[in-house]
Amino acid sequence: MSETPLETLRRHRPRWDRVGERAVEGLIRLCGYSAILFVLGIFLFVFREGAPLLPKLDWGRVLLSPEWYPTSRMHVRYGVAAMIAGTLSVTALAMVLAVPFGLGAAIFVSEFCTGRVKETLKIVIELLAAIPSIVWGFIGLSVTNRLIQTYLPAPVGLNLFNAACLLALMSVPIIVSIGEDALKAVPDSYREAALALGATRWQTVYRVLLPAARHGLLAAVLLGVGRAIGETMAVLMATGHANQFPRSLFDPIRTLTATIAAELGETAVGSDHYRMLFVIGLMLFTITFIVNLLADLAVRGVRNKTG
């Protein structure tokens, strides 16, 4: 053996390098593009199933009327106004509960606790995000349902408030982890500058960190909104699934997502009812697309400011 390691390298590395490098690069590229492919594919599928009905719909009726009678013999009506109101109201109420809680927790985790407490909290919060939504729905049916009936002036426990509480608990982990990232991204020199001027920790947070991290925090909130709008199982189980405009916090409601989940299995493929459910899917697609776009723009705002 007279070859030095360097000669071995020269002889064998280049070919391996080239082949291996290309293969890995191709694979990674495929992974990247596949995301686009899947999103487009799903959209096209939903669109294809819903499209034949689109020209036949009376959009004024659909968007403004609460009358949803997809199986009526005499007079089929596809009004989704009450469901849109249900989705928006349950999401809004969920955010009213989740945003202060989530941002507060993000601030606490990021700025006020250290070491073991911080690590434990982060793990527990991530665990909260990992609870399957059917479990949340189950809690809604059996636990919060009874609590609401016992302690609040509500005739039924399955209602807007119940579902909003569950959605809030489901969005909090997202808001906390993204919000914490946003706060962590604020340079430490800002904290030192404020503290050295005699700021208390809370003054540092609200005078310096919140303004500096506002884009990231907004993105956190919007992603939480996206989570709440898209949730299906928990709201199907906890809202009461009653197709009506909510008049109080304790009215049962119905959401767009829950309607699809509850009815799709009972429709004939290709029927108008079936296609209408896909149209609702398109509406959801549009709403979440707008929310995600806003979140993205918010995050981009961060880069422009700091970059």
Partner 1 sequence: MDAPEYSITTRGLNLWYGQFQALVDVSLDIPARRITALIGPSGCGKTTLLRCFNRINERLGYVTTRGEIHVLGRNIYAPDVSLLELRKAVGMVFQRPNPLPLSVYENVVFGLRLHHRRGELPRARLDAAVEQALREVGLWNDLKDRLDTPATRLQLEQQQKLCIARLLPLKPQVILMDEPCSALDVNGTRAIEELLFALREHYTLVVVTHNMAQARRASDECIFMLLGRVIEHRRTEDLFLNPRRPETAEYIEGRYG
Instruction: Return the number of the residue (11 or 207) whose C-beta is nearest partner 1.
Output: 207
**In angstroms, what is the minimal distance from the CB of 222 to partner 1?**
22
Kindly state the smallest distance separating residue 252's Cβ from partner 1, in Å: 46
| Percent helix / strand / coil, the chain, rounded to 5 | 80, 0, 20
Report the 10 Å Cβ neighbour count for 215: 20
Q: Is residue 238 within 8 Å of residue 142, measured between CB atoms?
A: no
Give, for 78, the enclosing helix (H) or strand (E): strand 77-78
- Rounded to the nearest angstrom, the gap between the alpha carbon of residue 117 and the centroid of all alpha carbons in its chain is 27
| Of residues 214 and 273, the one with the C-beta less far from partner 1 | 214
What is the nearest approach in angstroms of partner 1 to the Cβ of residue 183?
A: 14
Q: Shortest distance, CB of residue 187 to partner 1, whole angstroms?
A: 8
Q: How far is the CB of 96 from partner 1 (least distance, A)?
A: 28
Nearest distance, CB of residue 109 and partner 1, angstroms: 15
Joined together, the tokens standing for residue 289 give: 């697309």
Q: How far is CA 110 from the centre of its chain?
A: 22
Q: Which of 276, 284, 285 is nearest to 69 (CA)?
A: 276
In the complex with partner 1, the residue whose CB is nearer, 219 or 279, is 219
Q: Which is nearer to partner 1, 34 or 200 (CB)?
A: 200
Residue placing its CB nearer to partner 1 in the complex, 115 or 155: 115
Query: Read out DSSP for 91-114?
Result: HHHHHHHHHHHHHHHHHIIIII--
Q: How far apart are CA 56 and CA 36, in angstroms?
A: 31
Contact 279, 49 (CB under 8 A): no
- Smaller CB distance to partner 1: residue 198 or 265? 198
Query: Of 296, 262, 212, 292, whose CA–CA distance to 39 is shortest?
Result: 292
- Find the shortest distance in angstroms from Cβ 213 to partner 1: 10
Residues in contact with partner 1 by CB under 8 A are: 114-115, 187, 189-200, 203, 207-208, 211-212, 305
| Residue closer to partner 1 (CB basis): 199 or 261 | 199
DSSP state of 79: -
